[in-house]
Amino acid sequence: QVQLVQSGAEVKKPGASVKVSCQASGYNFNDYYIHWVRQAPGQGLEWMGWINPNSGGANSAQNFRGRVTMTRDSSISTSFMELSRLKFDDTAVYYCARGNPQGAFDFWGQGTLVTVSS
Amino acid sequence: DIQMTQSPPTLSASVGDRVTITCRASQIISTWLAWYQQKPGKAPKYLIYKASILESGVPSRFSGSGSGTEFTLTISSLQPDDFATYYCQQYNSFPWTFGLGTKVEIK
């Protein structure tokens, strides 16, 4: 069965970077985009960007451009999202999700809580 | 960016009620709309895509409709497991955007 398993919770100081991993199983990793979505405490869902595991090409929302880097290691079916220059309001649960051929997100990781605190 | 407006923000209902949630897009998105259900502390769950197509395994009491800019998610007979927050999402154009959510709570 399709599974996306993310790395554990992180606590970072303002200005630091965080790197979250998302390991896929149960399907051909290179066949589906991986998207990253975040959710601040008590708030809605915010799409951050996607990576094409096959080519490594990526694109991000304007809000994150210049601060987010999405990469992958196809040998271990894992995508990574690195967010730099962290601010207090980057505190959120970060999800990876598989983009299906229709463009929606059919499978999600369990989420990774990133807390930015001094 | 395409803005997605959901209403109502909160909905109080009883088991067995018919419930309808509305999602409006700020631009025409054809039927490139998905619905997700999220429970506290959990990842969203994929319910519906292309505005009206039920994902495999989703109970038939859920249905979606609409095209262009107006969409609805209907639960025909609310069950205890359905109390959750529901989000719409457009994937017509970059960047993908979500509505702010509708919380369905027990009356």
Instruction: Report mean pLDDT in 10-residue bins for chain A, 118 residues.
Output: 98 98 97 97 95 95 94 97 97 97 92 98
Pairwise CB contact (< 8 Å): B89 & A45: yes
Asked if A100 lies within 8 A of B94 by C-beta distance, the reply is no
Question: Cβ of B101 and A104 within 8 Å?
Answer: no
Residue B57, Cβ density class (10 Å: 0-12 exposed, 13-18 middle, ≥19 buried):
exposed
d(CA A92, CA A105): 19
Residues B48, B54, B60: CA angle, nearest 5 degrees: 120
Q: Per-residue pLDDT for B107 more than 90?
A: no
Looking at residue A103, its pLDDT comes to 83
Cβ(B21)–Cβ(B73) below 8 Å: yes
Query: CA-nearest residue of chain B to A63?
Result: B95
HEC letters along A53-108: CCCCCEEECHHHCCCEEEEEEHHHCEEEEEECCCCHHHCEEEEEEEECCCCCEEEE
Q: What is the pLDDT of residue A102?
A: 78
Count A/B contacts: CB-CB distance under 8 Å: 53
Q: B67 CB near a chain A CB, below 8 Å?
A: no
B54-102 pLDDT per residue, tens = 999 999 999 999 999 999 999 999 999 999 999 999 999 999 999 999 9
Which regions of A13-64 does DSSP assign to beta strands (E)?
A: 18-25, 33-39, 46-51, 58-60
Q: How many CA atoms lie within 13 Å of B100's alpha carbon, on the beta-carbon side?
A: 9
